[in-house]
Amino acid sequence: MRIVEVLDQTHQKDFLDIARTIYKDDSNYACPLDAEIEGIFDPKENSFFKHGEAGRWILQNDEGKVIGRIAAFINTNKAFSFDQPTGGCGFFECVNDKKAAFLLFDTAKEWLTVRGMEAMDGPVNFGENDNHWGLLVDGFMPQGYGMPYHQKYYKVFFEEYGFKVFFEQYSYHLDLKKPFPERFWKIAEWVAKKPGFTFEHFSYAKSEKYIQDLIAIYNEAWKFHDNFSPIDPEDIRKMALDGKGVVEEEFIWFAYHEGNPIAFFVMMPDINQILIKMDGKFNFWSKLKFLYNLKKKAITRARISIMGVVPKYQRFGVESAIFWHMDKVMKRKPHYKEVELSWVGDFNPKMISIYESVGGVKMKTHYTYRLLFDPNKPFKRTPIIPLENRGSKAKEKKVVERGE
């Protein structure tokens, strides 16, 4: 077997095509767009190259056939904030051959070690954690857009190599044909109509205002969390521009208290329901196919990708009030039958409670693993932040640590 670094167009194509080969007989797999994956490894497209670097490789067998791939990356804004400098690996795909899988893991580990890393998370993305993050271990069904799909045997590869679960990620499903619990609606309506609180949805006509509001909320809501880094406004502007024509303006909501932004909620149509028919291509004909399916309302599922609330308001039920407004929107769009609430970490009991309170059912589980290069060092899982300890910098430091 031979490891080959991806440095030219031929090997870029090999890197993309091996995923199509691995899943060619799996009807649940929706191949991400080639352009999206290539954009992650393009410094002109991915702002994480401003504070990091990435490498990627394919694996060939003795006959020269591609049988696997992996990528490795370092985000210098976060790498040195852990007990040990930590990089990441991702976009792992491999035939059912442990020796081949371990050679791919070795390659990523060696690349990170040379650059001063002492641990490796995986499978993760060279970007924000709302996309391409975690290994699917339960719920082998069609995934929401951005949520990765994997072969069942990958779990054995990661764990036998020495990776341990750093945190678990859960995706809940909400059947829109079933009514929300009555008690939930009473609380949600009371908060939604409370004096001083206002709610409005995104519009492209005022996109810059909402982008700035989202950034303000995000930076305030996450600034006391471990490994926080401020969000890049250009990333948000690019996402808004790329999503034009697909984004439902009434699926993105903002909450304000006395005019100040305090919460945001982002839900997107699950375009995987169309992409699953396109095999990762977005040429002229596939664009026509995409637009045709979009117009005929082929998308029946939406995915909640992120929600943020300023700590001061995290006990006010703002999330419930947003759901109250969203319910009215969904009743005007009856072709949507289901919402995926993803993903929530096992370290976030408050959000898990909210998902369950609206009737969400846990359907999928992904693992984010961590490998310590020195196995003698103590392994710690992502700490759980107790509900009563949220809301201030001092209190955020009081966390529950979990051993291996």
Residue-wise pLDDT tens digits, 318-346: 888 998 889 889 999 999 999 999 899 99
pLDDT at 392: 33
**361 contacts 355 by C-beta, under 8 angstroms:** no
The one-letter amino acid at 375: P
3-state secondary structure at position 182: helix
- Around 17, how many Cα atoms within 13 Å sit in the side-chain half-sphere? 12
What distances in angstroms separate CA 114 from CA 72, 87, 94, 111, 404, one per listed residue?
12, 11, 24, 5, 27
Whether residue 13 has pLDDT greater than 90: yes
**Residue entry with tokens 């759980």:** 384
- Whether residue 227 has pLDDT greater than 70: no
List, in order of start, the domains of the chain with CATH numbers.
Answer: 2-168+367-402 (3.40.630.30), 178-336 (3.40.630.30)
397 pLDDT higher than 70: no
Q: Residue 60: what pLDDT? A: 98
Q: How far apart are CA 357 and CA 185, in angstroms?
A: 10
Task: Name, in order, each residue with C-beta under 8 angstroms of 137's C-beta and a sequence gap of 6 or more.
Answer: 155, 365, 366, 367
pLDDT digits (tens, 9 = 90+) for 105-122: 999 999 999 999 999 999
Any idea what the Cα angle at residue 200 is, between residues 301 and 169, rounded to 5°? Answer: 45
Average pLDDT of the chain, as a whole number: 90
pLDDT digit string, tens, across residues 246-262: 899 999 999 999 999 99
pTM: 0.89
Q: Read off the pLDDT band of 212 (50, 70, 90).
A: very high
Contact 306, 266 (CB under 8 A): yes
Q: How many residues in total does the chain contain?
A: 404
Task: Check pLDDT > 60 for residue 389.
Answer: no
